[in-house]
Structure 1
């Protein structure tokens, strides 16, 4: 790879940016509050590391709880004016933002690669997917409406109106830092709320670039604010945001453990929360399924971003009569993947984003093998060299497939979140429905079968907020996204329901005299 380097002043040291931007003003390494670039009161910075090389290439302010009040106060001041803007005006602002995001896609894609490690083609895919939420909510802004009804009580009429809730906070993970910021912020801005975003310590620069583009689109100062912070200071800063009295809504995507903390903090302060949490998603393939379709869908669903998606297939169950054929096909297909740095044009699967994930993945594989599983592809450990490429400084693991999986293995009960696939066998529909539901999680499930009666039964019997029927990833701006059980509550995206997460309903009853 031949990349041109530029320098970025972190305030304390010069950081070499290992790629060239068409718009060098897009990349920022300060927080963004009230339309201004802001340094933390701590005076400290934390580094941003390229997962493909292990090299620190950026740095951002390490915010502390004392930085929170200023950001929220500025967002609240902006809310007083922005909440009164006409819905059509908000729609037009979102539309302009959408166009600017697409115009900046080449630069945004490079930033995504160097923050997440995902291949460049996947980075472009995330931008297209993420921008679809901005486009969708530009339409939803114009369609916020209440209702009227004739009361059961004599001479009364009732009207409901919907108004923006106030300042919202978004706590965003590192696996899809652009798409998840856009899904949350677009809904909030469409509703008339202002927002403070706390991105993951691994991926702060993407959020800052989006905030810059939002201001260029015409959103008022203070409508979209970003506080960056290190992993060490994340719990304290997130708690300060959740408990601030002017924050009326918190939206969080991340682990169930942390989601329960966020939900508790919000509940104690009687504020609304949306939590999209961990998944342990089963993919079930019956013998009557179209195997070509099933393999194609699993391949895309499992290996995208090296398996680091909440809705990826975590447990793959295959009916026993096609078990060996299924394994042969998915192994053959997966062998085509090329491991490498995300900006290498030959790469089709990149590193994991966070180095500590490798230890956890190795432990999951070791546990499964010790209990009888067999590795049929990959090695299940960190890779330091592949096809002559030196990968020793990056966070790499070859795609690993295990077979003869059983329900007593740790992988069955924990979210894998990496390039490791476990395949199980089953015999009956009743059996696999029970096994698929035997988890506290309920984010997504996938079923492949040509039996229409079974499709309806599985759709109704599987305990998941989203179910793919002969399709893998079905996430889209027009469809509600969210889980049940320990996978969280509330919905993001979709018609009406997602924007309602940022609105408060008022009921107004009036007396009408029945004479002239």
Structure 2
């Protein structure tokens, strides 16, 4: 999207989009947040944020370059000197205030999310609850970052292990969960005593800025929590700076595997602490023993939440032969029950895709499958009557391994169904990918449950359940789906290092 230089009158006009016409929204910001101040880019360049449902401009934010981002890094580095020395109790109290403000402003946060991401308002409200839960958790976990006293082999020495914050953490977050992906990272980092620079996705910066506004109101000290915004043409240079700056101690990224590999290489230059939560190609296996209703409901929750635009979305539905036909019939009915439309309209359960690039990718994947012999039982085409970025919820059968939709992460409302005969065959197909984020299976056979859970080559397994994420659980993958874990007490590991202290010559 082009860079704009807008005057005050133009900036006022963009807020009149339908999504925000009902009442004044104090969390809606048009500046970045650096060192406790709301600032523009030094160049005064800006870019527009649009509603994917109708293309309406809902905000204008700074298009920052590396010089602007260096200012944010410097602010975070300076703030770290004092923030790392606050007590865990102090940090927990501030996080608790931030959580309370998020709870109080949940409806406004959800409205902003729906406007910039297109997801149904019910899903946005659910994300607010989910995202807030990480701050709730880490407000308490701050006091549990404990060390160890180790038995010394010599009576004259005392061996101590303590955990200290790594320093400035750069948090690069995606557009599909613009609230939760920030709180999941920032909650752990701030609890550990780190300061952060957040770079939200260019499609959804307004939610990040709203969180910054609440952090300011909660009393987060200047420079501890910074949010910088930039459009696509600056994203690569900004990302490179965050990965290579000597003043950044660690990087946490959620996004595509391709971009994750680039950041991995860039971080190698400084041997930085790195957390990567990357793409998936999640299998969802339904065995003959499954409760069919539970399996269909679980499939819908996993596959079609946020229009299929989640990293843990079921990507390949593997159905054992005896129940294949019945499952396809029941899933078809469930898919037809989805209501597409604007996220702010009552009853809508499926919104648009996030942008033109994503729409084109989904369209190409379906076309490739249909050209190679797949059949669309439901959907299979765009829905232009609703808007330029709407694609019908789709189910494809007769899918084969030579189709792109079989091998690539779809990130859209496309369910691909395959038939298998034996448990061994199902597991083999499920594991036939370089991705290893999440996997799901449905079975009422207890022996099979423990057997298959162990054999699935993923970091997270949902058994008779399509929604597995929560703040208390360790989120992350294996293979090319990433490094490290987020959420739970394990999430703090990404932001602390162990220091061994040996006290010698004791009497």
The TM tier, using the shorter chain, reads over 0.9
Aligned to 1:383: 383
Moved more, 84-93 or 37-46: 37-46
Q: Which SS does the other structure have where 1:111 is aligned? A: helix
C-alpha contact (below 8 Å) 1:8/1:17 kept by paired residues: no
CA change 1:101–1:64 in 2 (3 A) is same
Aligned to 1:507: 500
Matched, 1:441 2:440: no
C-alpha distance in structure 1 between counterparts of 2:153 and 2:419, whole Å: 58
C-alpha contact (below 8 Å) 1:157/1:512 kept by paired residues: no
Moved more, 116-125 or 14-23: 14-23
Aligned to 1:30: 31
CA displacement at 1:250 relative to structure 2: 0.4
Aligned to 2:99: 98
C-alpha contact (below 8 Å) 1:320/1:425 kept by paired residues: yes
Output aligned runs, 1:103-502, within 5 Å: 103-378=104-379, 380-385=380-385, 391-392=386-387, 394-495=388-489, 497-502=490-495
CA displacement at 1:463 relative to structure 2: 0.7
C-alpha distance in structure 2 between counterparts of 1:9 and 1:476, whole Å: 42
C-alpha distance in structure 2 between counterparts of 1:257 and 1:185, whole Å: 24
C-alpha contact (below 8 Å) 1:150/1:156 kept by paired residues: no
Q: Which SS does the other structure have where 2:303 is aligned? A: helix
CA displacement at 1:148 relative to structure 2: 0.3
C-alpha contact (below 8 Å) 1:8/1:14 kept by paired residues: no
CA displacement at 1:512 relative to structure 2: 4.8
C-alpha contact (below 8 Å) 2:168/2:247 kept by paired residues: yes
CA displacement at 1:452 relative to structure 2: 1.5
C-alpha contact (below 8 Å) 2:111/2:121 kept by paired residues: yes
C-alpha distance in structure 2 between counterparts of 1:459 and 1:323, whole Å: 21
CA deviations over 1:302-357 (Å, ceiling 9, x no partner): 11110000001000000011000000001111111111000011311111111221
C-alpha distance in structure 1 between counterparts of 2:22 and 2:241, whole Å: 35
C-alpha contact (below 8 Å) 1:116/1:353 kept by paired residues: yes
Q: Which runs of 5+ in 1 are unaligned?
A: 1-6, 386-390
Matched, 1:66 2:59: no
C-alpha contact (below 8 Å) 1:307/1:419 kept by paired residues: yes
Moved more, 41-50 or 303-312: 41-50
C-alpha distance in structure 1 between counterparts of 2:458 and 2:269, whole Å: 27
CA change 1:149–1:21 in 2 (3 A) is farther
- Using the size of structure 1 for normalisation, the TM-score is 0.94
Aligned to 1:17: 16
CA displacement at 1:154 relative to structure 2: 4.6
C-alpha distance in structure 1 between counterparts of 2:12 and 2:258, whole Å: 36
- Using the size of structure 2 for normalisation, the TM-score is 0.96
C-alpha contact (below 8 Å) 2:155/2:506 kept by paired residues: no
Q: Which SS does the other structure have where 2:53 is aligned? A: coil
C-alpha contact (below 8 Å) 2:11/2:60 kept by paired residues: no
C-alpha contact (below 8 Å) 1:8/1:15 kept by paired residues: no
CA deviations over 1:97-132 (Å, ceiling 9, x no partner): 111001111111111011100011111000000001
CA change 1:134–1:286 in 2 (3 A) is same
C-alpha distance in structure 2 between counterparts of 1:471 and 1:281, whole Å: 13
C-alpha distance in structure 1 between counterparts of 2:447 and 2:25, whole Å: 56
C-alpha contact (below 8 Å) 1:140/1:190 kept by paired residues: yes
CA change 1:329–1:9 in 2 (3 A) is farther
C-alpha contact (below 8 Å) 2:335/2:394 kept by paired residues: no
Q: Tell me the C-alpha RMSD between the 2 structures.
A: 1.5
CA displacement at 1:24 relative to structure 2: 3.2
Q: Which SS does the other structure have where 1:330 is aligned? A: helix
CA displacement at 1:14 relative to structure 2: 3.6
CA displacement at 1:21 relative to structure 2: 6.6
